[in-house]
Structure 1
Amino acid sequence: MGVVVALNPLISAASVIAAGLAIGLASIGPGVGQGTAVGQAVEGITRQPEVEGKIRGNLLLSLAFMVSLTIYGQIVALELLFANHFV
């Protein structure tokens, strides 16, 4: 019983660090991807203005998928902070 009490602060600290890493790493990739995708879409629209609607539709769909990756990271971080099974 005493060992479990001694590990609780360590587990709590590790969970906070893991939550920060989860949301940080889950935000970096989609952030870079969104910037690249928007830049390429603008470049494609300036080269071929007649396919603007098709490019915009594909861009919005891909941006939605990228945002979902960030939301998954946020869910993992919130679970580590508030519904931690290790504590």
Structure 2
Amino acid sequence: MALMITDDCINCDVCEPECPNDAISMGLEIYEIDPHKCTECVGHFEEPTCAVLCPVACIPLNPAWRESREELQAKYERLTAAKAGT
């Protein structure tokens, strides 16, 4: 699963710079997570850093975006290879 940011977001700016995949960006009103880039930090960290650092705990799993750990690892590998190619 990818993560998502709920309406409880207070725009504290803590999550965005911590995302190793650049999956977090400012939306119209609150930060948003691009599920195509979110690996839940698989390949980078033991836990999703954005969720760990969020002061209002507004970054749960996105139930509409289900992925296994293996799928998240494969996504991490694709994203890492694409970054290295640039």
Q: TM-score range by the shorter chain?
A: under 0.3
- Considering only CA atoms, is the larger Rg found in Structure 1 or Structure 2? 1
- Name the structure with the higher helix share: 1
Q: TM-score, normalised by structure 1?
A: 0.27
- Name the structure with the higher strand share: 2
Where relative contact order (Cα < 8 A, 6+ residues apart) is larger, the structure is 1
